[in-house]
Every structure is written in C-alpha cells, then in structure tokens.
Structure 1
Amino acid sequence: MNDEEPAENISGGTAGGGQSATFDPETAGTRAEAVVDRLGEMYWTKTYGGRDAFECLVRTILSQNTSDKASQPAHDELMARYGGGEDANSEGDTDLARALADADQPELAETISSAGLYNQKSERIIALAQRICEEYGGESGFDEFVRESDPEAVRSTLLDMNGVGPKTADCVLLFAGGRGGVFPVDTHVHRIARRMGLAPADADHETVREYLERDVPAEKCGFGHTAMIQFGREYCSARKPACLDDPDACPLAGHCDQVGVYPATDEVVDPSETV
C-alpha cells in the first residue's frame, strides 16, 4: 500500500494529509465497504482532521470547477500574500479570515487567477471571510465551531453560505472537523459509485452520498473519498476507463457492474443514460 498521497490531492496539499490507520478488509459487510477496503490496499488508509477550517473552506472553493493542478498554485499564492507568508501584506497577521475580509477584490482575483473564475471566487471568498469574522470573530472561532458543534448544524450553516455546496461543506467537515461518516461526493465519486452499482444509475450527488455513508463504516469514509478520487484518475476515468480495452486492467473489476460501459462497442455513457 502506498501511504503517501500525491501532492495534487485536495486532501493533502503539498504535505500529505491525515494519519495512517489500520482496518481489517476481511470484515467488510457491504459491497461498498469491500470496494473501499480494496482502495485502501491500493492507495492509503487514513483518518483525517485537524486542518484549519477556514483555509480548508477557501481551498475547496478554489478547487471548484477546475483541476487541483490549477487550484493548488492559487492556494499557495493566496496563503503567501494573506496567510502570514513572506508576501503577506502585514507582518504577524496570521488570521486568514481577517486578512481576506479586508482584501482588495481585484488584488485577490489576480492572486488566485490560476484557479479560473477568479472574479467570482474572489468575491465569494471575501464575503465568506467577512461573515466568519462577524459571526465567529475570525478563523479560530470558526475552527472551534466546525470541530465541536453538532455536525448537522455545521453542515447546515456551511450550506447557507454563498458558494458553498454539499461537497465543499463535507470536505470542511472531514478534513478540518475530523468527522467520521462523511463521504464527500465530487465528480469522480459520483461517476464511480454509479458506474460500479454502489448507488442508483440516475442518483444525484446527494443520493450517492447517502448510499455511501449508509454502506461504508464511518471510520472508512474519509479515505474512501480520497482513494476513490485517485482511482478515478488512474483507472476509472470518465471517457476511457481501464476496463474498456481490457477487463483485467481494472483492480476493482470483480466489484463493478460496468453501468454505462460497453467494451463490445467501445462505448461509454453516463450511467444515468442507461435508465
């Protein structure tokens, strides 16, 4: 098992993420759990938590509608300018929320330009920072809220924030709050869960999340999310999954229903089109 997450993974940034944990794959009670256990053997088994909640929120917003390859430099530039790095506007100011609440929008947009949609994202980040300063006094108060309050209350509050959708809220709960039983659903997870038959073919993101959180033990949801993303990048891509040319090329072939994948005709469609 590779215990080092790649730098481009949203859970790890440049330093890797989480702490290694050990689980017994022989105890899987559902097919979804068996899939997650196999992914853990292929990649990593981690427990997450401890990341700064506001920075995690900002990082996830930067990643929206773009690749990690594009959003990571934007995050690094933002932290260097506003997070107390060498290019920070004021020495010793390490409260990221306060720094961004006072940020000049065009300057922030330029800073995060590599992430795409930089005008929209910069406006959202500043508005979120201002709200967090008003309601929680800054990033430390927000961090305490995310870590210690009822998870459903945290999720509801996050979803009430402009620009924060279910995946962003769940990533904050998982990577900052360290909450078990949270399985964020991004594009990769949404595709793979339906393609494998772990959720209905026409399920939306929230329905996929409900199925996975029901069928995967709470302590395995975190690495299930990150490892499934990596699996989607390496094997189960949207247009050319590994099984299309060679059924044996996919290490999860024995667990997959291949919904929407037709090797005989070299055709791949979204699982929802098969309903």
Structure 2
Amino acid sequence: MIKAPIPLLEDVLTVHERLCAAYGAPFPYFSTKDPLSELISALLSHRTKNRESGRAYKQLRERFPDWRQVRDAPVAEVEEAIAPCTWPEQKAPRIQAVLREVGERTGDTYDLEFLKEMAVPEARAWLESLSGVGPKTSAATLLFSRLRIPALPVDSHHHRVAQRLGWIPAKMGPGPAHAVLSALLPADWDAQTVYDHHEALMYHGQRCCYFYQPDCARCPVLAQCPFGKNRLRAE
C-alpha cells in the first residue's frame, strides 16, 4: 500500500490562496447540466480535449434528445454521434450500459437529484458502482453539475502539481489520489471553494507547472514546492 505524505493544513491553505489569487478565483462554473447529463459528459471527456468532447456531447444530444433514445439506439449510431471524442467505439457501449443501469435503479425516471441528499462519500460510491465510472467521473458529476456538491475531481494537471508539491507520492496514480487529496481539504469547504481549488491547480498545471520544462522561477507557490526548489538548485 502506498503511503502518502501528510502536508500541514497550513501549507495546503497557503497554496490554495496563492493559486486562487494568481489565476483569478472565484471561478464561474462552466456547466449547469443536470447530474445525468454531466455524468455522460464526463464519460465523453475521458482522454479527450474539452473542445472535442463538447462537440461529441452536442452531437449526441442533437441526434438523441432523450437519454432513453441513446440507451435504445443501435450502438453504431451512438458511436457515430460521439465521433469527435477519443475511442467512440469504447465509449458508446459504455454510455449505453450506464444508461441501462441508471434506468433500472431510478425506475426509468433518470432523475439523479436524490444524490444531493447523500453525504459526499455515499453519493460518490453510488456513482462509482455504475459500469465504467471512476473517482474523477463521480466527482465531476457531483461538483460540475447543478447539484454543486463539494467532491474534488483530480485531472492530470491537478495530479502533477500535487505530486510536485509533495502532497501525494510520485508513484500514486490519479485514481487513488482522489481520496488522499480530498482528505487534505477542510471539511467545511463548500462547493465553490472546492471548485476554485480544483480549477486553480489545473490552471497552474496548464500555465506554469508544465509536464516538460515547468517554469519554476515564476511559480507563485515555489516556497511550498520541494520539486521546484530542488530543480532550481540543480540548474
């Protein structure tokens, strides 16, 4: 079992405050989708750029206005509709399987608003019991949808920044990192604050803490980053 380091809450809050200030928090939500629509959107976005996954989602809804139509359509037609995303041949049957499971569990209502009444771990467990739904998808569904539940998604940028800050071990993957990074956050943070935290770390990974050649010299959290300090000392 990989054991993660336990940074001081003070360090986590300092990084949060500095990155939020650097990138302009509070950030407006980009989505107002219902939870089921956000769930399908999140499944489409896996390993796909936002522009392409957005096109795939739009084409899917234009072709099939009702989720039951997606569930019951020939898989080839769903695959054609979501062609802009990566691996449509895998995602089409996966989405249909998820829709069948959701229909069975909700009495064919396809209403996931009841997740709002659950504790965050319980709501995430319900979603992750669906075929092909992992920690990132469950958190995105709860946080980004109109439910606005404070679950923390961890994308590749967020994950990389957290590793370099020493919040998670270098060999810990994004899946296990969700639980560790969520546990570092104050329990009383609301959805907007959790959203700001995720977005700020993501923006930092995109705009400064690059995968190759991170710009450590201008990093606003260099004082909290062992990776950056070691890198600059070695230059």
Indicate whether the TM-score tops 0.5. yes
Specify the alignment match of 1:118 in structure 2.
88
Question: Following TM superposition, by how much is the alpha carbon of 1:171 offset from its aligned partner in structure 2, in angstroms?
Answer: 0.9
Question: Does residue 54 of structure 2 align to residue 81 of structure 1?
Answer: no
Structure 2 CA distance for aligned equivalents of residues 261 and 62 of structure 1 = 38
Question: Does residue 175 of structure 2 align to residue 175 of structure 1?
Answer: no
Residue 154 of structure 1: which of 123, 139, 143 is its match? Answer: 123
Cα distance change on mapping 1:166 and 1:250 into 2, 3 Å: same
Specify the alignment match of 1:62 in structure 2.
44
Structure 2 CA distance for aligned equivalents of residues 151 and 69 of structure 1 = 29
Paired residue type of 1:30:
E
Paired residue type of 1:82:
F
Q: How does 1:133-152 map to 2 (within 5 A)?
A: 133-138=103-108, 140-141=110-111, 143-152=112-121
Pairs aligned (count): 221
Cα distance change on mapping 1:47 and 1:211 into 2, 3 Å: farther
Structure 2 CA distance for aligned equivalents of residues 190 and 260 of structure 1 = 19
Could you say what secondary structure the match of 1:115 adopts?
A: coil
Specify the alignment match of 1:224 in structure 2.
197
Specify the alignment match of 1:191 in structure 2.
160
Specify the alignment match of 1:238 in structure 2.
211
Cα distance change on mapping 1:34 and 1:148 into 2, 3 Å: same
Structure 1 CA distance for aligned equivalents of residues 201 and 45 of structure 2 = 17
- The runs of 5 or more residues in structure 1 that have no matched partner are 1-27, 84-95, 267-275
Cα distance change on mapping 1:124 and 1:242 into 2, 3 Å: same
Structure 2 CA distance for aligned equivalents of residues 260 and 107 of structure 1 = 52
Question: Following TM superposition, by how much is the alpha carbon of 1:186 offset from its aligned partner in structure 2, in angstroms?
Answer: 1.6
- Per-residue CA distance 1:177-212 (angstroms, 9 max, x = gap): 3222x2111211111101112233333335533343
Q: Greater helix percent: which structure? A: 2
Paired residue type of 1:238:
F
Cα distance change on mapping 1:119 and 1:206 into 2, 3 Å: closer
Question: Following TM superposition, by how much is the alpha carbon of 1:146 offset from its aligned partner in structure 2, in angstroms?
Answer: 2.2
Structure 2 CA distance for aligned equivalents of residues 105 and 160 of structure 1 = 22
Check conservation: 1:195, 1:256, Cα contact below 8 A: yes
Could you say what secondary structure the match of 1:113 adopts?
A: coil
Specify the alignment match of 2:12 in structure 1.
32
- Per-residue CA distance 1:54-104 (angstroms, 9 max, x = gap): 111111111112222321211121122223xxxxxxxxxxxx422211222
Paired residue type of 1:67:
K
Cα distance change on mapping 1:97 and 1:260 into 2, 3 Å: farther
- Per-residue CA distance 1:240-274 (angstroms, 9 max, x = gap): 2112xxx1x222223322269735667xxxxxxxx
Check conservation: 1:133, 1:139, Cα contact below 8 A: yes
Question: Following TM superposition, by how much is the alpha carbon of 1:46 offset from its aligned partner in structure 2, in angstroms?
Answer: 4.5
Question: Following TM superposition, by how much is the alpha carbon of 1:166 offset from its aligned partner in structure 2, in angstroms?
Answer: 0.9
Question: Does residue 177 of structure 2 align to residue 208 of structure 1?
Answer: yes
Specify the alignment match of 1:71 in structure 2.
53
Q: How does 1:254-269 map to 2 (within 5 A)?
A: 254-258=223-227, 262-263=231-232
Paired residue type of 1:155:
R
What is the identity percentage for the equivalent residue pairs of Structure 1 and Structure 2?
Answer: 28
Check conservation: 1:97, 1:130, Cα contact below 8 A: no
Paired residue type of 2:155:
D
Poorly superposed stretches of 4+, deviation over 4 Å = 46-50, 263-266
Check conservation: 1:124, 1:162, Cα contact below 8 A: yes
Specify the alignment match of 2:69 in structure 1.
99
Paired residue type of 1:36:
H
Q: Which gives a bigger RCO, structure 1 or 2 (Cα 8 Å, sep 6+)?
A: 2
Structure 2 CA distance for aligned equivalents of residues 98 and 62 of structure 1 = 17
RMSD between aligned residues: 2.6
